Amino acid sequence: MDTLLKKIEGTKAFEGTRALLNPISGESRQRPAIATGHVDADGVLPGGILPGVLHEVFAGDMSAAACGFAAGLAHRVRGKKRLLWIRQDYAALEHGEICATGLAELGIDPSMVLMLRAANAPDVLKAATDALSCFALGAVIAEVPGNPRILDLVATRRLTLGAQNKGVTAILLRPCAHPEPSAAETRWTIRTTASAEHDEDWGRPCFDAALTRNRHGETGRWAMEWNPDDGVFAKPADQPATDHGPVAAATANGPLAAQDRNWRRAG
């Protein structure tokens, strides 16, 4: 058996057969993280967004910013596969429909996006669990406004297991909701951010993204900009440069020095 395996190991064409012969290989398929493109965020995350797990995106209001952020994350993670967006009827009426031309303007090909309109939150969860078992999908965005009781720790755990099963990333988009305990890998809270004063142009979409929970690392908060041309996040170009050039060293004794140290003045 081993010699046979070694012979066919070289040929890529029989990779499928190899998987068949080794069903329980013991190695858990650790899928590599996909970089968001924002250097600081990727540094805190394990190299980027981990596929095949559950990520949560929260927003305090019905902002379209969270919508755009979740779409951006999904676009990063899906690769070449399709994306399924599950929304409730209520969200479509109150918050507006997802617009195909809008997605195209964000750099996401609308022909790669499927939409499911569910009647209520339990239907959204049922559909998400069903869809996560389809390996041909790259990501599933489940949009559930508010904090319904059905979306508890158990439900998020079920979504995580579903995502791990076939490697489809699950993104739970929760507008008008406050964060709750969940089994998510990362949790983001998105706010809108005002464009810089001096910036003349309209500018790309920019989000105030706070990573409030990260299973494999620290948390953080950054201004993340979405680049529709390349389909990646980036640091906003207009952030003031931190490097001011060479400066003179601060003097050891002088008025500035005295302010720094809490020395007791004698006499």
Closer to other proteins by Cβ: residue 48 or 68 = 68
Contact 55, 73 (CB under 8 A): yes
212, 187 Cβ separation under 8 angstroms: yes
Ranges of beta strands (E only) in 109-217 are 113-118, 137-143, 169-174, 186-192, 206-214
81 near other proteins (CB under 8 A) = yes
> Quick one: which of 123, 146, 161, 210 contacts other proteins (CB under 8 A)?
123
Residue 236 CB, shortest distance to other proteins, in Å, is 12
Count Cβ atoms below 10 Å from residue 194 Cβ, excluding itself: 7
CB neighbourhood size of 18 (10 A): 14
Q: Residue 235, interface with other proteins (CB under 8 A)?
A: no
From 60-68, 150-158, 181-189, 253-261, span contacting other proteins (CB under 8 A):
60-68
Least separation in angstroms between CB 41 and other proteins: 17
Give exposure, 143-174, as e/b (b: 16+ Cβ within 10 Å): bbbeebeebeeebbebbbebbbeeebbbbbbb
Q: Which of 45, 71, 142, 209 binds other proteins (CB under 8 A)?
A: 71
Judged by beta carbon, residue 121 or residue 182, the one nearer other proteins is 121
The three-point CA angle 208-63-58 to 5° equals 65
Binding positions for other proteins, rule: CB under 8 A: 13-17, 63-65, 67-69, 71-72, 81-82, 84, 92, 95-107, 109-111, 113-119, 123, 126-127, 130-131, 134-137, 191-195, 201-208, 226, 228-229
